[in-house]
Amino acid sequence: MYNLKEIVDKIFYIGVNDRQKEAFENYLPLPNGVTYNSYVIMDEKVAVVDTVEATVAGTYFSNLEAVLQGRSVDYLIVHHMEPDHAGSIDLFVQRFPNIQIVTTSKSKDMLKGYFNITENIMEVKEGTTLELGTKSLTFFMAPMVHWPEVMVSYENKNKILFSADAFGTFGTNDGGFMDTQLNLDKYWDDMRRYYACIVGKFAVPVQNALKKLSALEISYICSLHGPVWHANIPKLMDLYQKWSRYEAEEKGLVIAYGTMYGNSQHLAEAIAQGASEAGLKNIVIHNVSKTDTSFILSDIFKYNGLVIGSPTYMTYMYPLIEKLVSAIEHREIANRIYGCFGSYTWASKATKMLSDVSCKMNWQMIGSVDNKQAVSSDKYQEAYQLGKEMAEAILK
């Protein structure tokens, strides 16, 4: 049994909540689950917009059949070939052997590679329009938002943007499926984490896509993950502008540290106290052994200040700090106010390595603290002072 989820004018949501999967792409934790979204446009022709991960195909095809009520499908629009959306294409073709797959030239190679599908493919280019009857879809290329073959499409009658991964978020749709029906509190952090981890490296392609989309009047955004957006489109556009320019949402300080026996943690607390007593309220402290890197990255995208601390470990950075630094560098996160600190027993390496990060990232360096063995009261004061100076720079 399934009650239809109509967005507007015979255009339906048939996405599926995944509450089972532990980690997206097998490494990003999903405490709030995730959705795989697909849509049906019922007109003289029937078009389905993307599919879902194969693990939820049973539920998906039930949703689809409920909307179709015996009709067949003319077009399967493939915006993106990552298997969380393309995973059911082969099952789809088995059910509807006469469908045309509408997609980009780059997807054709992937359709062949993943599914050995080489026929009934309609290649579309920038600006191609597909007539469905009373409605039509116009296609725009959006390469590298998130893969090279990505496109988005615009339904001209109801002003709906089918945006592929863009504007997606982790988090299931609980009860409702549109932003107007949902308490959105849980989505904002998860949307930033999704952006930071999935799309965050591709700032220039996102900027290019936003520029292209700015010419369109958009009433609905139908992404491939999370709610259908209707009432919050200006907020989404603003967030994507900020994130893709590496602008912080708020003034604030992230302190991310590794520690084996508590000395680096002691310094983190001193820095936080100094920042607090200089008037900064947005202070988030992450022990990298307790918090997954994806959540730390999300906070780094949110706030303009960052301090990283690490013990020296086998003459290198602590392994989980190394992982965080690599994730930051890989995403080329710009425009941050930065400080660092480290602890060591017999070889001082981590603080120097963390200092070098600021040169590599072209960040504003405020200072560093290097501590040998137990934290003395002088070192505590040094760390406190670093926190104070960080806060002053952040609040300026």
d(CA 308, CA 293): 13
Nearer to ligand FEO, 24 or 303 (CB): 24
Residue 203 near residue 332, CB atoms below 8 Å: yes
Binds ligand FEO by CB under 6 A, chosen from 79, 80, 286, 379 = 80
d(CA 222, CA 163): 6
Site for ligand FEO in 285-324 (CB under 6 A): none
Nearer to ligand FEO, 172 or 368 (CB): 172
Nearer to ligand FEO, 224 or 353 (CB): 224
Minimum distance from residue 125 beta carbon to ligand FEO (Å) = 21
Complete edge-to-edge strand list for the sheet that includes strand 160-162: 129-131, 136-141, 151-155, 160-162, 220-222
Where does this chain touch ligand FEO (CB under 6 A) — which range of 4-12, 77-85, 268-276, 385-393? 77-85
Nearer to ligand FEO, 150 or 213 (CB): 150
Position 274: which residue type? G
Residue 318 near residue 311, CB atoms below 8 Å: yes
Reduce the DSSP state of residue 178 to 3 states and report it: strand
Position 248: which residue type? A
Minimum distance from residue 300 beta carbon to ligand FEO (Å) = 21
82 interacts with ligand FEO by CB under 6 A? yes
Nearer to ligand FEO, 25 or 277 (CB): 25
Sequence-distant (6+) residues with CB within 8 A of 172 are 17, 18, 19, 32, 33, 34, 35
Binds ligand FEO by CB under 6 A, chosen from 79, 135, 146, 379 = 146
Q: What is the number of the residue whose Cβ is closest to ligand FEO? A: 82
Nearer to ligand FEO, 204 or 374 (CB): 204
d(CA 51, CA 78): 8
Where does this chain touch ligand FEO (CB under 6 A) — which range of 79-87, 176-184, 253-261, 327-335? 79-87
Minimum distance from residue 54 beta carbon to ligand FEO (Å) = 14
Where does this chain touch ligand FEO (CB under 6 A) — which range of 54-62, 80-88, 109-117, 242-250? 80-88
Residue 357 near residue 338, CB atoms below 8 Å: yes
x-marked contacts with ligand FEO along 220-239 as a string, rule CB under 6 A: ----xx--------------
What are the distances in angstroms from CA 364 to CA 274, 306, 336, 393? Answer: 19, 10, 6, 9
Listing DSSP states for 239-278 in one string gives HHHHHHTT--SEEEEEEEE--SSSHHHHHHHHHHHHHHHT
179 interacts with ligand FEO by CB under 6 A? no
Nearer to ligand FEO, 199 or 353 (CB): 199
Size of the site for ligand FEO (CB under 6 A): 8
Q: Which residues bind ligand FEO (CB under 6 A)?
A: 80, 82, 84-85, 146, 165, 224-225
